[in-house]
Amino acid sequence: MRKKRHVCSDILVKQKGFTLLSTLLTIAILFITVPFLEYITKSLSYTTNYTDLSANQLFHFMRDDLIRSTDYTIGNQVVSLKAIDGTTVTYEKYEDIIRRQVDSTGHEVVIRNVKSLSFEEISYGIKTIIITMDGAVYEKKFTIYN
């Protein structure tokens, strides 16, 4: 067997690989399809149940606090619940959120994007109505057993 003295070997005729033409064709296809992908993703609509879950969670928290309370007062977009242990829990609209505070310290954001909040005393408890920025209305009546 004879050793070759140079590094370069002969080029095979049927060698496969990328050519400039195939690379340009691939780039052209990508540039044509990318704008359509953006249009398709923008046209997809999705629905979220975030607000529904937040409203149900608010009503759940209020129910639990009402069960633990001995007295309540209703004001303009605020309800205060006097708990058995002496703490006062308030639910109120603050800007576009409804927050929960214990003894007027700190706050927990319970629901966002709220247009209005109203509390109404009814014969057997409290009626709560929440209207969100997108017009959804959530209403709950709480029975108070004394």
- 65-87 pLDDT, tens digit per residue, is 999 999 999 998 899 999 999 99
Listed range (1-5, 58-62, 68-72, 88-92) with the worst mean pLDDT:
1-5
pLDDT greater than 80 at residue 63: yes
The whole-angstrom separation of Cα 78 and Cα 72 is 11
- What would the mean pLDDT of 85-114 be, rounded to a whole number? 94
Listed range (2-11, 100-109, 116-125) with the worst mean pLDDT:
2-11
- Which tens digit of pLDDT belongs to each residue from 116-132? 999 999 999 999 999 99
pLDDT at 15: 61
pLDDT at 41: 82
Residue extents of the structural domains in the chain: 50-143
Is 0.85 surpassed by the pTM of this model? no
Of 128 and 46, which is predicted with more confidence? Answer: 128
**Average pLDDT value over all residues in the chain:** 87
Q: Please provide the distance, in angstroms rounded to a whole number, between the alpha carbons at the two ends of the chain.
A: 107
pLDDT at 119: 95
Do residues 120 and 96 lie in contact, with contact meaning Cβ atoms separated by under 8 Å?
A: no
Nearest to 21 by CA among 13, 29, 11, 32: 29
